[in-house]
Structure 1
Amino acid sequence: MPKETKLANPAPLGLMGFALTTMILSLINAGLLPDEGGIAVVIPLAMAYGGTMQIVAGILAFRKGDTFETMAFNTYGAFWWWFGLAELFAVNGLLSPSTTAIGVTLVGFGVITTILLVGTLRLNWALFAVFATLAATFYLVGVGDWLGIDVLVTAGGYVGMVTAVLAAYTAAAEVLNWTFGEDRIPLGGSPTSGRRTTAQTAD
C-alpha cells in the first residue's frame, strides 16, 4: 500500500487572512482610520487575502475532511467577497446598498457565527474566543447599521480589533507549534473536555 501523503493544516492561512482584513476594517469602524482612504485598502484586501485565501483554506479543509473548517473558511471568505463587491459597486455608483440591508445581512452572519461558536466548544479555547468576539462584532456593527446607531458600530470596531488579535494569535500558535514540533504556544483544551482539541481533524 502506498504511504498516505501528509497534508498541511490550512487553518493558519485562513485565520491570518481573516485577522488582517478584520483588523483594518475594525480600525475604520472604530474611527481610528479615515473611512475614505481605509476603504480603498479594505476592498482589494477583502478580495485577495481575506476572501480568496479563506476560500482556498476552506477547499483544502474539505479535502482533509474537516467539516467545521470547510464551513467556517468558505463562509467568511465569501463574506469578504460580498463586502468587497458591495463597497466597490457603491464607490463606482453601480449599486447603492442601504445601511439597513447591510445591517440585516451582518446580523445574519452573526447568527451563522453563533452556530459555529457552539462547534468550538469541542475544539479549543483560542477558537472559542475568536468566534465569541466575532459574533459580538457582527451583532454590534449589524444592529448599529440596521438601526442607525453609530455608537454600536464604533463599539463593534473595537471588539473586531480584539477578534483580529485573537485570530492572529491562534494562527501564529498553529504555525509555530508545527514548526517547532511541540505545543509551545497554548491554544487551550476543549471548553467541554471533548476528544477534539484543535480545528484540524487529521494530519
Structure 2
Amino acid sequence: MNSDLDRNGEEKASFQNRETPSQALSMVPTSVTLSAEQFERLYLTRMTCQRPKLAKQVGNPTPLALGGFVITTTPLSCCLMAWRGASGNGVAFIGPIVFLGGLLLLITSILEFILGNTFPCVVFGTIGGFWFAFAASMIPSFNAAAPYSPSATDTIAGLSSPGFMTTYAFLFITMAVLMLIFMICATRTNIVYTLIFLSLLVVFLLLSSAYWQLAEGDASVGDRCVKGAGASLFVASLLGFYLLIVQLFEALEFPFQLPVGDLAVLWTDESHNNKSGDSRRYDEDLAAIGDDRSV
C-alpha cells in the first residue's frame, strides 16, 4: 500500500513538474501598446473617446474598405480618362461597383460602428451608399435613366440625355460638399487621408461640370472635365493604395513605418494637455491593450 502511495505521489509530482514549464510559458506577457500615431494610422480616427472592449478582441476593418475602394476607383478612373479606348463612364464596372465598392464599404461601415469609430463609419457608409446608387442608375431593371430616353425604355440612351445629365449633376454637387466636410474632418488625422478627400472633391466638382457642359452640347469642354475627373480619381486611388499598404504594414508589425504626415500637431493646444476624465480612461484602456494579448 505504501509503495503504491509513494508511486502515485511520485507520478503526481512528476506530472506537476511537467505542467510547470507550460504554465510558466502561458504567464509570459507579450504585450503590444499602440501609440496615438499608430492608433490613428490603423483606425483613421482620433483618440477622443473611450474605446469599447470589443476593439481589443477583433481586427481592424478599415483595410477592407480601402481594398474595395482602390479596386473600384482605379479601373473607373482609367475608363474616365479613356485609356486604350475605354468608354461608357463605368457601365462595364457595374459588378465591381456593387460588390467591391458598395458592399465592402457598407460592411466596413457596420464594423466601424460596432467598434465605435464614428468618422470612418460615416465615411465608408456614405461612399458605399453612393456606389450602390451610382450602379443602380446604370442597371436597366432600376429604370432610373430610361425615362429620359426618347423611347422611355432605353437606359443607355437615357444616361446620355441632356435631361438626365442636368439632373444627375446635382448628386455630384452634393457629394462634393460632403467630401469637403470629410476633408476638413480628416485634418485631425493625417495628410494622406486628407488628400484623398481633396482628390474626391475635385472629382465630383469636375463630374458635375462635365454633365452640365455635355447637357448643353459642349462636348469638347465636357470631355475634358470627364478626363480631369478621371485623373483626379486616379490620384485618389493611388493614395488609397498607399494608405492600405501603411495600414497592413502596421497591422503585421513590420519593423519600419511609412510616413503619412501626422496632422495632430495642428490641433495641439492647452486643452489637449488637460485631458477630460473620458480621455484619461481611454488612455488607460489603450495602454492595457497589450495586457489582454498574451500567449
TM range (shorter): 0.7 to 0.9
Aligned equivalent of 1:87, options 119, 128, 138: 138
- Aligned partner of 2:116 among 65, 68, 74: 65
Deviation at residue 94 of structure 1 after TM alignment? 5.7
Deviating above 6 A after TM superposition, structure 1's stretches of 4 or more consecutive aligned residues are none
- How far apart are residue 69 of structure 1 and its match? 0.5
Which of 243, 265, 287 matches 1:170? 243
- Runs of 5+ in structure 1 lacking a partner? 197-201
Aligned equivalents of 1:75, 1:66: Cα separation in 2: 14
Q: Tell me the TM-score normalised to structure 1 length.
A: 0.86
Does 2:267 correspond to 1:194?
Answer: yes
Give the AA of the match of 1:178.
A
**Equivalent position SS for 2:266:** coil
CA contact (8 A) 1:122 1:192 kept: no
Counterpart code for 1:166: L
Q: Is 1:123–1:190's contact at 8 Å kept on the other side of the alignment?
A: yes
Structure 2 unaligned residues grouped into runs of 5+: 1-52, 147-152, 215-221, 273-285, 290-295
With over 3 angstroms needed to count, the CA separation of the structure-2 counterparts of 1:38 and 1:120, relative to structure 1, is closer
The residue that corresponds to 2:218 in the other structure is: none
Q: CA deviation at 1:181?
A: 5.1
Look at both structures and tell me which one has the larger radius of gyration over its CA atoms: 2
Superposed displacement of residue 101, structure 1: 1.8
Amino acid at match of 1:154: K
Amino acid at match of 1:8: G
Q: Give the CA deviation at 1:35.
A: 1.6
What RMSD, in angstroms, separates the aligned Cα atoms of the two structures? 2.5
Residue 179 of structure 2 aligns to which amino acid in structure 1?
T
> Partners in 2 of 1:127 and 1:175 — Cα distance?
15
SS in 1 for 2:57: coil
Q: Deviation of residue 141 (structure 1)?
A: 1.3
Counterpart contact for 1:142–1:153, Cα < 8 Å = no
Residue among 223, 232, 237 paired with 1:159: 232
- Please tell me whether the aligned partners of residues 103 and 145 of structure 1 are also in contact (alpha carbons under 8 angstroms): yes
Q: 5 Å matches for 1:1-203?
A: 5-32=56-83, 33-36=85-88, 39-40=91-92, 42-89=93-140, 90=145, 93=154, 96-97=158-159, 98-148=164-214, 149-180=222-253, 184-190=257-263, 193-194=266-267
Distance in 2, matches of 1:191 and 1:20, equals 29
Identity of aligned residues (%): 25
For these two proteins, the number of residue pairs brought into alignment is 195
Deviates more, 1:77-86 or 1:145-154: 145-154
Instruction: Tell me if the contact between 1:107 and 1:143 (Cα under 8 Å) persists in the aligned partners.
Output: no
